[in-house]
Chain A
Amino acid sequence: MADATPKANPETVRCTIDGMELEVPKGTRIIDAAARAGIDVPHYCYHPGLSAPAQCRMCLVEVEKAPKLQPSCTATVADGNVIHTQSEKALEARKGVLEFYLVNHPLDCPVCDQSGECKLQDYTAAEGRAMGRLKEPKRVQGRDDFGGDVLFNADRCVMCTRCVRFMREVAQDERLAVVQRGHKNVIDTFFDEGLEGNIWADNIVDLCPVGALVSKDFLHKARAWDLDRAPSICPNCTQGCNVRLETRDNAVMRIKPRPNPEVNAHWMCDYGRLNYEWINREGRIEAPLVRDGDRLVGVSWADALTRLAGALRDVPVRDARAVVSPFMANEDAGALRRVMDVVGGGAGVYRCEAGEEVVLPGFPTLALRPDRAANVHGVELFGFKRAGGTSATGGLDEAAAHRGVLFVLGDELADAPEGFGANASLYVYVGHFASPAARNADFILPATTFAEMEGTFTNIQRRVQRFWPAIQAPGMARPAWQILGVLLAGISDAAPVGTAADAFEALASVRPEFGGLSYTDLAQGGAVLPSFAEAGD
């Protein structure tokens, strides 16, 4: 028995779940305790980021000596509890509840946009009745455009009310409500405006355990079961929300939040979520190009970098300027800084679009931050200064007039003045798109975007967070840290940089703030730069 031996810690309780003995903190919900033991208790209404109303009745479990089955999402573990999640009584209750769900839920799995991510489908397959007993017609409620990116299929709704509670408790903008009663219950918006204008509303699509709330953006675009998923960081503002890039056919199909209690809990904003098409943009530079008179000639990486190293050694003015994109990784910016230091030092700028800050009221640590790029704080750490206006344009005059070595890293230079870089003794463009200003460069080196590589961003909390490759890089594109790392080894006695971990380790040589952080230990949660953590920033 769980209570046979005395407990070591008075702040914990002991219980037995499905025969496994556990010691959990006092006040732990049974469903969470079960999860610790690796047991997934089926549930719809329960979500760790919301209040638990215990209304779906899916998570009922048998607790010995309790007269009735207990909702494991609200019942907490008491010392000595013996809990059965798979007993005949519990399984019978779940089977019954699942049958009730199917009374009015259409079995349109083949066309439902949830395409396999449906908990009703999963649970019914795992524990439901083999054959339904329903002979009656199902009620029909149709669908509704909730505004924003959200489309509502009322017939598929399981009335878990997660969406209503999210808007009430987290977004604190109560735009959804349950209307009607009984089996006519339906989620509805108050007015025609619906969810329009609330930038957190798409989180309800993630929360919906079935195909009732779907994203218009993703509608009929891909089947969820066809997607590949990679952990990443949202690149669209300095919050650095932990996300998954969900891809198919080497393109990002959608972005979903990934839980991180320190950064974004379970949520992300619609701005970040829906701003991904640029990652899929075609027309990328696919091979290193080297200037040969008026022409740009495609060459091998070895050729390009050997010639670039030679050119840097021979360049008459040993002073560099740079324009860096805040969408580039810490490793990219750090490698550029190291190259610039070898070349003779110099200043650099970055340009970033800016807008209004929109805080999530129920989790104020999270906001759509004013700076709409992921690594503003990272590139600033490497000494690059903000330039230009709030639309990420302008501010290139000094770089355009520079007579020494000019580096551009990631910035597309779409608004650059004519003849940009013409004054430079050597103009090196490391980036993604060959805009007219980029085509003035002596060396055009194709770099990967964050979605195609491994690296880190530094967010507004100075939390350094890793991201992983989600799609294949086009052609010969390589991570900028790799390109610049090889170059650095060619122009100095720096050790070659083979991996992102090497590139990360090298950051500490130019910015001591990164000292003490281990790339491996950053894992999927990231870590705050030690100096900021100590300062309590």
Chain B
Amino acid sequence: MAYPYRHPSEVLVLSKYFGDPEARTLKGWEARGGYAPLRKALGMTPAEIVNEVKASGLRGRGGAGFPTGVKWSFMPQKSDKPHYLLCNADESEPGTFKDRELIRWTPHALVEGCLIGAYAIRAEHAYIYIRGEFFEPAQILARAIEEAYAAGYAGKNVMGSGIDLDITLHIGAGAYICGEETGLMNSLEGRRGEPRIKPPFPAISGAFGKPSAINNVETLIAAAHIVQNGAEWYKQWGTEKSTGTKLFCVSGHVKRPGNYEVPMGFNFREFIYDVCGGTASGRPIKSVIPGGSSVPMLTADELDIGMDYEAMAAAGTMLGCGSVIIMDDTTNIVKQVRRMVDFYAHESCGQCTPCREGTAWAAKILRRIENGRGTQEDLDTLISISDNMSGKTICVLSDAAAAPIVSSIEKFRGDYLEMMHAGAGVPVASAIAL
């Protein structure tokens, strides 16, 4: 089973075995060099692993881009409490499907990454929190964990090292907010999925009140490669501050949607037009969201930038988790933004007032505009609401909802104005229904 499409510009590190069903099995994974990184890691001290990952410059692939080694080094050095490694596999940002593919094709890579990560932070237990809708990947992962236990890669005395490492797969009930690290911890503990105020930070008081490190699926798999091949090997790709390769998941009006692994700093325009084949229809691109629906949009004129944290930030957007959503010129930006904001309004945990009320209010205004009953004043209100939602809540869900609103009004104001003038004849009932 070949993977749908591979482009010559790709660098296959994480995604090398995509499309290779044999890699899913323990035997197949071992034949491809699997579990050698774990063996090597167990021969190192936890501090050596942390230092190697630190030296590699690996940054968290869940969206925030925090240096992984540094995060691991925050774990208390002297603690009589158990430590936990938490793997965030609750991938649920609209347009994001890279972790799902990593789990589907290389589940043992994640198991191995978790075991290495757990050892590095001196944890004896790793939890993988996967969203309930990922039924097939969860089944595949459960099978891999079972195989790893049977082969002695997990459990008591891993590979005869005298070290105990356990893994628990936890299937969530399906809430976007449970992918936020502290919301995930609440959910893991059986509580309502609501983010927690920080401090205390997870490294001090995380899951079950114990020191915890939480990493994305892609991050942990990359860390295993770094342990096996060294920091310098990893730094051959990418830029000075954004090292290594990264998986980008591409969707929307694109000729070749899918997952692509390219070095950090890869040219975005080249990526879209060459690697992904441009728009499916051949029509011009209207807008691209580079990092998942929670980051500001770019126009077609803004694509000559590197696919790395710094370049994206300089362009006024974010790399996020690498979810590239392409929209051609047939896209109605207002409808698109309204859908996104509907999503955030639906997924807001409702804990913080600006998010609970702001997302829903913004969605209602957008729907009214979409139904042709908007005014220019509404755009000012939307900007103001977005400002009141940004940076004023426990987590960043409301910031995420505000980003597409603000960037779309800034960059595609014409679409909004057009809809305001095209409203005649829209039935009132449908206009107010939410």
Contacts and interface: CB of A to CB of B under 8 A. Distances in A.
A and B from one assembly?
Answer: yes
Interface of A: 53-58, 60, 68-69, 71, 74, 93, 96-97, 99-101, 103-104, 133-137, 139, 158-159, 177-178, 180-185
A136 B350 contact: no
B354 A185 contact: no
Nearest to B360: A183
Given A182-B348, A182-B355, 4 more contacts: A96-B392, A100-B361, A101-B353, A181-B177
B151 interface: no
B349 interface: yes
Contacts of B352: 55-57
B348 A158 contact: no
State which size class the interface on B falls in. 20 to 34
A134 B175 CA distance: 28
Tell which of A56, A58, A139, A183 has the most Cβ of chain B within 10 Å.
Answer: A183
Interface string B401-434: 0000000000000000000000000000000100
B353 A183 contact: no
Contact of A56 (B192, B347, B353): B353
Interface of B: 175, 177, 192, 197, 345-361, 364-365, 368, 381, 384-385, 387-388, 391-394, 432
Given A159-B356, A181-B175, A183-B357, A99 B388 contact: yes
Given A54-B394, A57-B393, A159 B347 contact: no
A178 B392 contact: no
Given A60-B392, A74-B197, A133 B381 contact: yes
Given A68-B391, A103-B360, A184 B350 contact: yes
Given A55-B394, A57-B392, A96 B354 contact: yes
B349 A181 contact: yes
A135 B356 contact: no
Contacts of B348: 181-183
A299 to B, nearest CB: 66
Q: Closest 8 CB pairs between A and B?
A: A96-B388, A185-B350, A183-B360, A100-B357, A182-B348, A136-B364, A55-B351, A103-B357
A63 B60 CA distance: 29
Contacts of A139: 360
B interface SS class: helix
Nearest to B380: A133
A133 B383 CA distance: 13
Contacts of B177: 181
A162 to B, nearest CB: 13
Contacts of A133: 381, 384
B197 A71 contact: yes
A182 B194 CA distance: 11
Nearest to B381: A133
Nearest to A161: B351
Given A97-B388, A181-B349, A183-B359, A53 B197 contact: yes
Contacts of B384: 96, 133
A450 B350 CA distance: 47
B363 to A, nearest CB: 9
A74 B192 CA distance: 20
Contacts of B347: 181-182
B351 A53 contact: yes
A82 B348 CA distance: 33
A260 B354 CA distance: 34
A56 B348 CA distance: 14
Contacts of A56: 352-353
A66 to B, nearest CB: 11
Contact of B350 (A69, A134, A135, A183): A183
B224 to A, nearest CB: 34
B358 A100 contact: yes
Contacts of B392: 57, 60, 68-69, 93, 96-97
Nearest to A55: B351
A166 B51 CA distance: 46
A136 B368 contact: yes
Contacts of A96: 354, 384-385, 387-388, 392
B356 A183 contact: yes
B355 to A, nearest CB: 8
B368 A135 contact: yes
Contacts of A159: 350-351, 353, 356
Tell which of B175, B350, B357 has the most Cβ of chain A within 10 Å.
Answer: B357
A99 B385 CA distance: 9
A185 B394 contact: no
Contacts of B432: 136-137
Contact of A104 (B357, B359, B368): B357
B365 A136 contact: yes
A178 B348 CA distance: 13
